Amino acid sequence: MSAIPVPRLALPRAGIFRRFASQEALLALAVIGLAIAVGFVNPRFLAYRNLADILLGNAYIAIAAIGMSMVIISGNIDISVGALIGVLATVSGSLAVAGAPTLVAWIVPVVLGVLVMAAQGAVVAYLRIPAIVVTLGMMSILKGGLISVTGGKWITDLPQGFHLADLNLLGVPMPVAIMVVATALAALWMRYSASGRAIYATGGNAEAARLCGVNPQRTVVMVFALHGFFAGIATLVYATQLRVIQSTTPPGLELTVITAAVVGGVSILGGVGTVVGATLAAILIAEITSALVFVNISPYWTDSLRGGLILATVIADIVRRRRRASRGRRI
């Protein structure tokens, strides 16, 4: 296991600045810097209520980005996650309205998420079909299926107890608590456990990983299954926040989640990145959306800004790789 390349940890001469020049530190600074900058234009932005609302309303994106990061780090991609969350939300809401116990309405979508994603992972790993093709197909199936089955009808009249997102955990709103706990656990697991490191190894160099005793196929299936788990958890937060569940899948959600992972420092080439970065990036993206309203920037700019952010991160990633390579250090 020790032969697995361990990027980012293996910086023996790393001074304090080098360590903090990581993507996570940059993002944390960006989150704080943006808040201060917008605070100058409109101090209301810094009100506790507003900052809390930004976290609350977007925690589900950060949670989904955890699994997405794992998938991308393993050298794959998933574009079906938005559609899956839409479907799982409808499943969960339908169960709740039909009178199923609340716990069932919460657990079934998580289990279903794991199954659907694990199946996709198996197709990717064992049939060797590129993940983008498999998940593109699944996205269409889920989107079309959802509209067909619901007939466009929304779910209303959700029972009171169903609203997980309205609960508090030790005084912290549930969506934020779940986001923090899930991110922390996933980060620790990916950094210190053998299976966590296997994800990096598989995405960095599958053949080398295999020679080191990692089973890349099994790792990919596990990664997708975990991604399905986090998608299920994200669904619970997403679906229980409002009083209605739409019969359409949340538009562009998969792209927002992928953006969070990539801006969070997860290399699109695989093998590099952390879930902490992805969560911070999800927060940054949510903060930008809110900031645009606060400083009266036309929403026409939202997409351009988001695109700029992705390009900047990807370019920075490539530049960093080159620099390290020229210093003779392998990634």
Partner 1 sequence: MKARYLTTAAAAALALAGLATAANAAGKWDGGDDLATSPLECGMGPAAPAAPMKYDGGQPTNAADKAGKEIVVVDVPKLIGIGYFNATAKGIQDAAKDIGNVKAKTDGPTEAKIDEQIKFIDNYITSGVDGILFAANDPVAIAPVLKKALSKGIHVVGYDANSTPDAREWFVNQSPFNGIAKSMVDAMAKETGEDGSFAIVTSTFTTPNQARWIAEMQAYAAKCHPKLNWLETVEAQEDNNLSFNQATTLINKHGDKLKGIFGMTSVATPASAEAVTKAGQCGKVAVVGLATPNAMKPYVHSDCVKSVVLWNPIDLGYAATYVMRAAVDGKLKPGDTSVDAGKLGKLNVINGSEILLGAPYIFDKANIDKFDF
- Of 206 and 245, the one with the shorter C-beta distance to partner 1 is 245
Q: Is 242 in the site for partner 1 (CB under 8 A)?
A: yes
Look-up of token digits 């657990």: 107
Q: Name the residue among 239, 229, 243, 248 with its Cα closest to residue 92.
A: 239
User: CB neighbours (10 Å) of residue 296?
Assistant: 8
CA 262-267-272 angle, to 5 degrees, is 125
Q: In this chain, which stretch among 14-22, 108-116, 184-192, 321-329 interacts with partner 1, using CB under 8 A?
A: 14-22
Write out the two tokens for 147.
């509209």
**Which of 11, 14, 50, 180 is in the footprint of partner 1 by CB under 8 A?**
50
Kindly write out the interface string for residues 276-305 of this chain, putting x where it contacts partner 1 by CB under 8 A and - elsewhere. Answer: ----------x--xxx-xxxxxxxxxx---
Among 101, 130, 145, 152, binds partner 1 (CB under 8 A): 152
Distances (CA, A) of 224 to 90, 124, 168, 257: 21, 10, 29, 15
Least separation in angstroms between residue 76's CB and partner 1 is 26
Residue 309 CB, nearest approach to partner 1 (Å): 12
Q: Whole-angstrom Cα distance, residue 118 to residue 236? A: 19
* Residue 62 or 291 with smaller CB distance to partner 1: 291
- Of positions 13, 153, 327, 330, contacts partner 1 by CB under 8 A: 153
- Residue 241 engages partner 1 in binding (rule: CB under 8 A): yes
Q: Which spans of this chain sit near partner 1 (rule: CB under 8 A)? A: 17, 20-21, 29, 33-34, 36-38, 40-42, 44-45, 47, 49-50, 53-54, 57-58, 60, 148, 151-154, 156-157, 238, 241-246, 248, 250-252, 286, 289-291, 293-302
